Structure 1
Amino acid sequence: MRQRKRILFVVNPISGGKKKTAFNKQVLEVLDLEKFDPTFKITDHPNHAYELGKSAVVEGYDAVVAVGGDGTINEVGSAIMGTDMPLGIIPEGSGNGLALYLGIPLNESAALRRINRFETVDVDTGEINGRNFFNIAGLGFDASVSDHFATENIRGPVGYLRSIMNVLSDFKPSTYTLVIDGKEYKKEAFMISVANSPQYGNNAYIAPQASITDGILDVCIVHKFPLYLLPKMVFHLFTKSADQSEYVEILPGKNIKIIRDEKGPVHVDGEPVEMGKELEIAIKHKSLKIIC
């Protein structure tokens, strides 16, 4: 009998506000157990998924599967990027931006069947002040929303919408200096998103032309706009037409520096991180293998 591939499933039990008590049973029903030997580990503290990913590399697993949202994917991916070990994704988050872009089904059984195929693609990753991101990093309004959402007791889209409305009431645009591949810009912006893939999640596309394999980051600058146009801006997000808005400017780059007036939150794949006034951002071309 041929040797089975050892797969570690790293399960975030609280991501997306979904209970995962039956997940292990479902894996044993759907995963091809003639080809794969699954192990399950549950995260129970911040950065635990990263630690488990690092251990999986040392222990010689053939793949690690992140069962959670973009934050869990970020931790596991950061642990194994630069190795030959592929990352599998079972999307269980609030937004699932990376999984949606890669065409990974939100249905657990369908996503597990993708693992059975074990087909991989090499993708780009981004880095901001030493922190990896695979989907989008941002500052300004969306970072403030992520910061608020982290304290919200309602998860999922409803909680995220509540955070948007709370932050929107008194949010003010800021002035930023950007240096993109050596060229300097001065911009007043409502928010700046640095996109490796096109969407935040829930099919809200901030950078419709972004690609996770082209070696380029899309710097999406959302300029100050009248509040009465908010429904139109949201319409652009959900119709993949943000780049057609007169209030959105997208500049491609590989090496990016952003200078702001004061330190504050930055969202890294949806997770808020406190960072300083100067942000150094770069692309790492095809630095991670993903099963899709």
Structure 2
Amino acid sequence: MVFLFAINPVSGGKAKTDWETGINNYFTNSSHDAELLYLDGKTDEDRLRQKLNQLKPDRVVAVGGDGTIKFVAEQLLGTTIPLGVLPAGSANGMARELGIPPDIEGSLNVLVDGVLKPTDVIAVNGDICLHLADIGLNAQLVKHYQQYNLRGKLGYLRGVVNVLQKRRLLRVEINLGDECISRAAFMIVLANARMYGTGAVINPDGDPFDGQFEVVIFRRLSFWEVLKLFWRYQPFDPKKIEILPATSITIATHRKAYFQIDGEYIGRITELKAEIRPGVLTLIVPE
């Protein structure tokens, strides 16, 4: 097989030298071939598409965090090429969700020996979400984290303190198709998975292969509960959140709300439209 590795050299603020060395060493005496493409954040879409047409790889691998996985997945939608993941980002939420080993050799073994599984994505406001998208408090934190180039858990803590000082309730109308509800909430998550990258479980029944997603409404939130988003103490108190299954949804907010998809801040919005797209992406997962 021919593997194309799309490497984000700045994902998670970490150099990818170890990953590059690990890939080259792994395939040196292998019957498979590996080609490396280094992303630059400027012409990646054209360069990746050109490489796909030239190389015609059997499998494409995203080397980075959730944002890198999302970018590569966008180029593979509508094709039959499977997507693999090397968890070289900071949080690696999707890799954790799929059970991809965090070490280099273990994750490379999955690429060769794993199974192919059709996976759902959520179409959100003309974009796609593989893992988690949200409006409100966490999206504001993602913006703060990226704006000030914060890193690590200490950086998250600084962001949490800053964002909590400015927190405001969102008043929203949620249309689930057969039901329309009004809520006041600090944040609303569209979850195609169970947990954030830190392992904090916010959606216990989440499954990226079940043909639906969950709408997680955080109606009450304290400083310590926000910390649980980033340090795995315990799951959230179910009395303070509401979880609604959905295949499509429209959310309207009374004021502009911070919005992020898969760890990338998008902007501020007053309307969100989302629907599930079942099995449109093939992922390589552990057997």
TM-score normalized by the length of structure 2: 0.91
Change (3 A) 1:47 1:248: farther
Q: What aligned pairs does 1:6-17 form with structure 2 within 5 A after superposition?
A: 6-17=2-13
2:193 is matched with which residue: 187, 193, 197?
Answer: 197
Aligned to 2:58: 62
Aligned to 2:130: 134
Task: For residue 6 of structure 1, report the CA deviation from its aligned partner.
Answer: 1.6
Between 20-29 and 177-186, the greater mean CA deviation after superposition: 20-29
Matched, 1:256 2:254: no
Task: For residue 275 of structure 1, report the CA deviation from its aligned partner.
Answer: 4.7
Q: What aligned pairs does 1:64-83 form with structure 2 within 5 A after superposition?
A: 64-83=60-79
- Sequence identity percentage: 31
Change (3 A) 1:145 1:47: farther
Aligned to 1:231: 224
1:168 is matched with which residue: 164, 171, 192?
Answer: 164
Amino acid at match of 2:158: R
Amino acid at match of 1:276: I
Aligned to 1:85: 81
Q: What aligned pairs does 1:180-219 form with structure 2 within 5 A after superposition?
A: 180-219=176-215
Task: For residue 264 of structure 1, report the CA deviation from its aligned partner.
Answer: 4.1
1:178-229 CA distances to partner (integer Å, 9 max, x unpaired)?
001331010000100000011121101211111011111100000034x3xx
**SS of aligned partner of 2:17:** coil
Aligned to 2:38: 42
Aligned to 2:110: 114
Task: For residue 148 of structure 1, report the CA deviation from its aligned partner.
Answer: 0.8
Question: Runs of 4 or more off by more than 6 Å in structure 1?
Answer: none
Change (3 A) 1:253 1:6: same
Using the alignment, how far apart are the partners of 1:143 and 1:47 within structure 2? 26
Task: For residue 154 of structure 1, report the CA deviation from its aligned partner.
Answer: 3.0
Aligned to 2:21: 25
Using the alignment, how far apart are the partners of 1:21 and 1:204 within structure 2? 29
**SS of aligned partner of 1:276:** strand
Matched, 1:94 2:86: no
Using the alignment, how far apart are the partners of 2:52 and 2:277 within structure 1? 20
- Assess if the C-alpha contact under 8 Å between 1:152 and 1:159 holds in 2: no
Using the alignment, how far apart are the partners of 1:133 and 1:124 within structure 2? 9
Amino acid at match of 2:53: V
Unaligned ranges ≥5, structure 1: none
- Assess if the C-alpha contact under 8 Å between 2:256 and 2:270 holds in 1: yes
Using the alignment, how far apart are the partners of 2:17 and 2:246 within structure 1? 43
Using the alignment, how far apart are the partners of 2:169 and 2:42 within structure 1? 31
Task: For residue 52 of structure 1, report the CA deviation from its aligned partner.
Answer: 4.3
Using the alignment, how far apart are the partners of 1:20 and 1:67 within structure 2? 9
